[in-house]
Structure 1
Amino acid sequence: MIEQLPSLPAGILGFRLRGIVTADDYESVMVPDIEAAFALNRKVRSIIHLGDDFTGFAPGAMWDDVKLGFRHISGWERTAVVTDVGWVRVMSSVFGFAIPSHFKLFSNAQMDDAMRWIAEPR
């Protein structure tokens, strides 16, 4: 399941991933929000939280995640990933350099720091 993070400033998208995330979750929650944000903003920031209740991706969901990121490849200004999930931290560290935005990885205990970082002025 994917749900929106509440009360974020304009131009910042935030999502919390819980349980098993499916391709339908991307299509019904993330895609509309991302497309709407890019219709209003040339550059967008995002914060993604994968908490302790995140258990993984259903088949096809990871591919949807990759496609979604590349659809607006030059429009991502800043991306924060907040998680203590070991394999997600490893993958984020390994592939973070390939993300075409300023990318930073935070632990769950650093959620407030991640929120401040994603919202700080340019």
Structure 2
Amino acid sequence: MIEQLPTLPAGVLGFRMRDLVTAQDYESVMVPDIEAAFALNPKLRLVVHVGDDFVGFAPGAMWDDVKLGFRHISGWERTALVTDVGWIRVMSSMFGFAMPTQFKLFTNAEFEEAVRWVASP
């Protein structure tokens, strides 16, 4: 499941991933919100929180994530990933440098710091 994060600063879009994340979650929640944000602004600041209640990605969900990232490859200004999920932290540490954005990894306890970092000028 993917939910939009409420009450973020202006210009910051955020999502929380929990339970099992499916391709349908991307298509019904993330894609419309991100496309709407890009229609208003050529650059996007993003917070993604993968909480302790996250159990994994269904087949196809990771591919939708990759497609969404590449569709707007030059539009990602700053991205914060907030998670304590071990394998996601390892993968992000290994491949974060290749993301077309300023990217920073935070723990769940650092959620507020992540939001401040993404929103800062």
1:105 Cα deviation after fit? 0.1
**For structure 1, which runs of at least 5 residues remain unmatched after alignment?**
none
Q: Equivalences for 1:1-122 in 2 at 5 Å?
A: 1-121=1-121
Give the TM-score normalised by structure 1.
0.97
Contact 1:82 1:110 in 2 (8 A): yes
Q: Measure the CA separation in 2 of the matches of 1:17 and 1:54.
A: 6
Q: Measure the CA separation in 2 of the matches of 1:118 and 1:6.
A: 15
Q: Which residue identity lines up with residue 78 of structure 2 in the other structure? A: R
Q: Measure the CA separation in 2 of the matches of 1:13 and 1:119.
A: 10
User: Bigger shift: 2-11 or 97-106?
Assistant: 2-11
Structure 1 SS opposite 2:6:
coil
CA-atom RMSD in angstroms:
0.6
1:2 Cα deviation after fit? 0.1
Q: Measure the CA separation in 2 of the matches of 1:42 and 1:31.
A: 15
Q: Measure the CA separation in 1 of the matches of 2:117 and 2:56.
A: 26
Structure 2 SS opposite 1:88:
helix
Give the TM-score normalised by structure 2.
0.98
1:11 Cα deviation after fit? 2.3
1:7 Cα deviation after fit? 1.1
Contact 1:11 1:43 in 2 (8 A): no
Q: Measure the CA separation in 2 of the matches of 1:94 and 1:71.
A: 22
Aligned residues: 121
